[in-house]
Structure 1
Amino acid sequence: MESILCPGQTSEDFYKYSVIELYHLLTNCNLHDIANICYEHRYDGTFFANVDVQELLQDQPFSASNIQILKFKKLRDGWRPSTYT
């Protein structure tokens, strides 16, 4: 589970995340609303493959802000916040 929080992940890794792994990644990065919706509806990483994430996250039930969508896309592409100095 800790590997999902390590930098260097790829979008292909993201698409393999289980519902629980995706939930933990999103909550750890303060995307709680998106995480809760994914958990409630049982969306895993595969759900977000081959879709327009921008359009999907702007609509109900997510109604995400632009910065939340950007953060989600960055996480999908492997970015992880640096929490160590």
Structure 2
Amino acid sequence: MAVRLTPGAAVDRVDGWDVDADGRPVLRVRVRARPVEGEANAALLKLLAKALGAPKSAVALDRGGQSRMKMILVRGLTIDDLRSRLTDL
């Protein structure tokens, strides 16, 4: 799942689905943590696990550790499950 992360926000929240410049779906997420020593990435994974109702161990960063655009792996859920759970927020 593609995620566009905004660190240093006022609140942690999932803003919902959007599309990138190539027309691919991307989830927009904000976290309060700053992008220092992986803090924002850790906050992102924790927030997504909670929002999806999945264990923290099922959510992992695949690519984009130093970028705003990230690829997240979620074990045990299909892409349709992800979209339906995150659309209801």
Larger RCO (CA under 8 A, 6+ residues apart): 1
**Normalising by the residue count of structure 1, what TM-score does the alignment of the two structures yield?**
0.35
**Normalising by the residue count of structure 2, what TM-score does the alignment of the two structures yield?**
0.35
